[in-house]
Structure 1
């Protein structure tokens, strides 16, 4: 028998390992940015072309590498951060597994330029499919510049599975934000296709959060800071009004490393209980510092999922810290006269109250109005009072006069009782109203709104219960589909165009969506510096709600999730229909309800919303008869 087990060649082994570490361009962005942070850089540049498929380049001014280190860093499991097994459980740096650069070199063409601080010359290395093609000395700035070109050029199947440029760019921006948020003391820039998307100056954590999430959060952040011997928690949570229906503004960092933790997210949701709707998500940027021995970060290739040695303690502490911060925000502010020195100069504070001033004040009408005789609880028994006739109010011969055309007044008049009737048998005004309502005949064809969420409409065989939001979503979806396939929708021009400032990531996304949005009735123009001018919106959007409509559309599109891969235009239409549909909780007039019913059953598929949710449920008289026996 011949032996059949062989060792894989290094290039194939590296490609297999790369499948765990480098899943898309954003994975390489994360690894390269973390290496730049670990190198002690104070300025980091990220340059992207073609959403990372053509180029991902990171330039830093860190400590650089020697010629030997520059060559060794591309070997598998080569790292400067682990010497013994104990080091694996005391990691405080970012990258540490020693596979990132080897994996990147296995699926792309890499160019590295690096120079140690204080050195006269640097090192240039060119690697193609894990093989070193060139290594020589070069002249370069202090620090490191590493460029990853033509990702997956040697694995075409992997490249075919990459998504659209817009989707891949969103992932890159997410990874960039997560690293930049954790290190506000470092200057970060992001350039995509020669256009600068982010320029983040060094500053405080709050300045970094506002620079990334938007200036409108400046006055809407609540500071969180709690310190114990076990762990420290600090950062910011958004005020309840900043909560959104979609995810995206939730950040957890453990020892400056971004993590995803549904368990700790549940603790935040509990802290916000009864302050925000149950289907909304609060904003938070929270940092947890604790001994690395209490956490295991090497449980996932991307290191975004970690384990704590005592999760219950973490849960309770996070929830308590957020609740405490929100309680401080909600308390009534107290007056502190020391804050304004001018108050100390007022006569009422600086000058004494003399006896002459006291005597003068006693004789004023204002003082007399606060004497004992004028208090609300004092009853003057000596003076003649009309209260002696108070029993007449209950006399059967003197009914309380009801206001004209006042139903409640008439019912109270009809329901008055004699003093001899027992209290427990006396009918209340509320019960009288209920009885009258039961006797009232209404037009049975008029639809009725139930809990401002459903529409009840009678049909020949029984009745149907319509979900107003799902029904309106189906109506808008088919309307937008006709606009794309047949003729563009009408645009309602704004009398006064509005400017719409957006975060850089949202601005880049909106720029790619402009052609499709114009077909759907939006009239938008780029105005520079991540700002757009809104000149018009679809005719069915309420005037004055233009900005909220576009921001909501972007949120829906960014968080669009579906198992099947659908074209971007289809995602946009579904997101727009969802965003502009009538929400649950909105009161509708009879005419509005009837219009929804008529338009729903004029649709080609009236029984389901675009996402598959039922729009209505029918109840037959025969089924009702069975239910009631």
Structure 2
């Protein structure tokens, strides 16, 4: 039998590796940014065109590479980060596998310019699909400039799987933010299609967070700090009242490396137990420093998952540290029955000297006197009664007997031991003037010819609003109510960019926008069916629904917008509806094109025939 196992060619092996390392343009951005940091750069510039599909360029002022190193960097498993297997258990760098540049060069056109400090000229290398086209000397500053062009040019199927430019740009921004947050001492800049997206100067951690997520973030942060033998924790958590429904602002860093860890995230949620509003998640920026020998990074291609030696201790320390910070800054309530908060010493008076108060008493004061007390040696004046005329009239009528004899009679009432039905629940026999009845403030019951129909009020209202919003967006005939005072909301740059993208669709639903700049969104008009107080909730729900994927322009975007707004604006379970509101909801539901299911394909109503009811009583 002939031998059938053979070695793959290098260009094929590189393309297979690229399937794990290079999933989308954001993967390239992550790898190149980490390489620039490992090179000791203090200033890094990211240039993007067409969401990375046309160009991804990283320019840094690091130590650069020699001519030989520049050529070797594109070979598989060629790295300067480790020399033996033991180094995997004591990693202090971002990359160590030596697969990134080889994988990127296998699926793109790559141009590298690099120079080390001691050389007067640098090296320029061009690669297309793992093949070196050009290698020559060039004039370039100290550091490295790596341009990745036409990503997946030789794998059309992979390129077709990429999402729209807006989706891919959001993924790139996410990766850029993660790297920038982990290294506040480095200057970062990001440009997309010749427009500036971020310009982040070097500073402390808080300045970097505010620079990325906007100036309003400053007032939301609560500092967290703890140092133990196992872990050193630093960072910030966001106050509970500013929590969001999205997971966007949840950042864990271990030894300046962004990670995802559901176990540690649960520790943070446990620390916020009882403080967060319903269906919201805690936001945090937490930096953990541990001994590199106690973690294993090499368990995932993207290196975002880490294996800890002692996760249980980390869980307990992290939870206790956050609880302590929330209590220290009066975010969490303190339960102490023997403590009087009024007796707490303010910080400003803690070191001040305490003076014994002196009490002065006027021993000549007489509360019954109507004139000033006499001086010593003076004769006592004679006093006369004043305003005492007619005092007898105050007692007139008290001896007059009551007009009827029922005033002093008490009646014995029957003791009510309990009700079979709830008082606030309307049934057919309790309110006969309406043909609909509400059960548990959640379901609407109405009679039909064959029996009765039971409607879920929240899902039904979702269906009604969804079709109404979809119609308004399509025909562009929505009605708005103008606000007396504009509503100004604050969002970070990525959220604001997403809202600007959806601006036309939101305007077709009834929103009217004013200025959109400096991380603020001004709203001057809202849909007539939307209370002003619920506008932030609706927009936050919309951002939450679009957190993972931003649909392309067209019907999918309109459909997502209508579904999200309908879910936010629909009446919730637990709301009491009067008779006219119930009847209007029932009539509007059965006037819809698809009354039987909600926008997310869940049942809106069920029917029960008379025969089914008869069988219940057998």
TM over 0.5: yes
Q: 2-side partners of 1:435 and 1:176: how far apart?
A: 58
1:586 to 1:254, Cα distance in 2 relative to 1, 3 A:
farther
String of CA shifts for 1:65-98, please: whole Å, max 9, x gaps.
2222111111111111111111011112212211
Q: 2-side partners of 1:353 and 1:269: how far apart?
A: 48
Q: 2-side partners of 1:5 and 1:186: how far apart?
A: 48
String of CA shifts for 1:231-252, please: whole Å, max 9, x gaps.
1222222222222223222112
Paired position in structure 2 for 1:57? 57
Paired position in structure 2 for 1:155? 155
Paired position in structure 2 for 1:33? 33
Give the alignment partner of residue 595 of structure 2, picking from 599, 602, 606. Answer: 606
Shift of 1:486: 3.6
Judge conservation of contact 1:116–1:143 (CA < 8 Å) in 2. Answer: yes
Q: 2-side partners of 1:566 and 1:245: how far apart?
A: 25
String of CA shifts for 1:93-133, please: whole Å, max 9, x gaps.
21221111111111111111122235422221111111111
Paired position in structure 1 for 2:80? 80
Alignment of 1:292-311 (within 5 A): 292-311=292-311
Shift of 1:461: 4.6
Shift of 1:285: 1.6
Tell me the TM-score normalized by structure 1: 0.81
Judge conservation of contact 1:261–1:305 (CA < 8 Å) in 2. Answer: yes
Alignment of 1:406-421 (within 5 A): 414-415=412-413
Paired position in structure 1 for 2:263? 263
Q: 2-side partners of 1:337 and 1:625: how far apart?
A: 72
Shift of 1:226: 2.2
Unaligned stretches of 5+ in structure 1?
A: 366-396, 402-412, 417-426
Give the alignment partner of residue 507 of structure 1, picking from 470, 491, 496. Answer: 496
Paired position in structure 2 for 1:369? none
Paired position in structure 1 for 2:583? 594
Alignment of 1:479-490 (within 5 A): 479-490=468-479
Paired position in structure 2 for 1:117? 117
Q: 1-side partners of 2:413 and 2:549: how far apart?
A: 58
Q: 1-side partners of 2:41 and 2:364: how far apart?
A: 74
Alignment of 1:27-426 (within 5 A): 27-277=27-277, 279-328=279-328, 329-331=331-333, 336=345, 339=348, 353=357, 357-360=359-362, 414-415=412-413
Paired position in structure 2 for 1:445? 434
Give secondary structure in 2 for the equivalent of 1:279.
coil
Judge conservation of contact 1:457–1:464 (CA < 8 Å) in 2. Answer: yes
Judge conservation of contact 1:444–1:458 (CA < 8 Å) in 2. Answer: no
Tell me the TM-score normalized by structure 2: 0.83
| RMSD across aligned positions (CA) | 3.3
1:202 to 1:150, Cα distance in 2 relative to 1, 3 A:
same
Paired position in structure 2 for 1:572? 561
1:259 to 1:438, Cα distance in 2 relative to 1, 3 A:
closer
88-97 or 153-162: bigger deviation: 88-97
Give secondary structure in 1 for the equivalent of 2:595.
coil
String of CA shifts for 1:499-558, please: whole Å, max 9, x gaps.
444311112222322333333333335644444443433332224554553344223222
Judge conservation of contact 1:480–1:520 (CA < 8 Å) in 2. Answer: yes
320-329 or 472-481: bigger deviation: 320-329
Q: 1-side partners of 2:613 and 2:442: how far apart?
A: 22
String of CA shifts for 1:405-446, please: whole Å, max 9, x gaps.
xxxxxxxx6438xxxxxxxxxx46877997999998322735
Q: 2-side partners of 1:238 and 1:498: how far apart?
A: 23
1:586 to 1:221, Cα distance in 2 relative to 1, 3 A:
farther
Q: 2-side partners of 1:501 and 1:191: how far apart?
A: 22
Shift of 1:60: 1.5
Judge conservation of contact 1:250–1:282 (CA < 8 Å) in 2. Answer: yes
1:90 to 1:534, Cα distance in 2 relative to 1, 3 A:
same
Q: 2-side partners of 1:559 and 1:265: how far apart?
A: 19
Give secondary structure in 2 for the equivalent of 1:567.
helix
448-457 or 300-309: bigger deviation: 448-457
Give secondary structure in 2 for the equivalent of 1:134.
strand
1:71 to 1:566, Cα distance in 2 relative to 1, 3 A:
farther
Shift of 1:471: 1.9
Judge conservation of contact 1:238–1:282 (CA < 8 Å) in 2. Answer: yes
Unaligned stretches of 5+ in structure 2?
A: 335-340, 368-405
1:69 to 1:626, Cα distance in 2 relative to 1, 3 A:
farther
1:6 to 1:361, Cα distance in 2 relative to 1, 3 A:
farther
91-100 or 428-437: bigger deviation: 428-437
Q: 2-side partners of 1:433 and 1:489: how far apart?
A: 43
- 4+ runs of 1 displaced by more than 6 Å? 361-365, 397-401, 428-440
13-22 or 504-513: bigger deviation: 504-513
33-42 or 496-505: bigger deviation: 496-505
